[in-house]
Structure 1
Amino acid sequence: MRRIFNVLILIPLAIVLIALMVANRTSVPLSIDVFNPGNPALTYQAPLFVWLFVAAAIGVVAGGFGAWLAQGKHRKQERTYKREARQLRHEVEKTKRTNGDNSATGTSLVLQR
């Protein structure tokens, strides 16, 4: 499976990225000062592909952070379910000990959400 992934995804992606790097190797300025774009203190020179890769990396990180925030309610719900299951397991063990029953045949525990 990993070999198929490498052949079908990574190799064509590498070819496209190398072509992008070769085609966009001219140095371009990035000015951070929006009011005075000619300010040399806040203007950085780098090849265009560097700026493209930086923008893509920032997008991946921002997207991952957004997905992590969106899934917070699911993680909280999972913690609640695990806590509830642990409490129920302890209750079952306590009931078994008090009744002196060591076998679990014929009994079932049904959780309803």
Structure 2
Amino acid sequence: MFKRIITLVILVPVAIVLILLSVANRQTVTLAFNPFEPSDPVLSQSAPLFVFLFAALMLGMIIGSLATWFNQGKHRSRARNKAQEAVKWHSEADRQKAKATELARSSTLPPPAESAPRG
């Protein structure tokens, strides 16, 4: 519940700011990829400013996510190895338990013979 409240406290203001930016920046701008000839139509793109802002935001999120994913690879690998080791030891424990049960069944002593009633 606390996590949901924190998420709402953060996401609602961010959404409001993004909507306000989108409404305020509807004018068309040209993004030029050629620094030597900015008016080159082949290497320039015209769109509303908020489109470029959202594209930059999404690109940053993707790059950040990929960097985090690659950086945490060693932790995922270690977790995978520990999980495999845990499965191995659980199966070994089950095997030993079955072996002990079988050994206990086979080595049970016959019940003592009842002696004749004294009388």
Shared fold, TM over 0.5: yes
Match of 1:41 in 2: 42
CA distance in 1, matches of 2:101, 2:73: 42
- State how 1:2-81 maps to structure 2 within 5 Å: 2=4, 5-6=7-8, 8-81=9-82
Provide the aligned length of Structure 1 versus Structure 2: 100
CA deviation after TM superposition for structure 1 residue 40, in Å: 0.6
Could you list the runs of 5+ residues in structure 2 that have no partner in the other structure? 103-119
CA deviation after TM superposition for structure 1 residue 3, in Å: 6.4
Aligned partner of residue 37 in structure 2, secondary structure? coil
- Amino acid across the alignment from 1:25: R
Larger Rg: 2
RMSD: 1.9
Could you list the runs of 5+ residues in structure 1 that have no partner in the other structure? 102-113
TM-score (norm 1): 0.77
- Amino acid across the alignment from 2:64: G
Give the percent of matched residue pairs that are identical in Structure 1 and Structure 2: 43
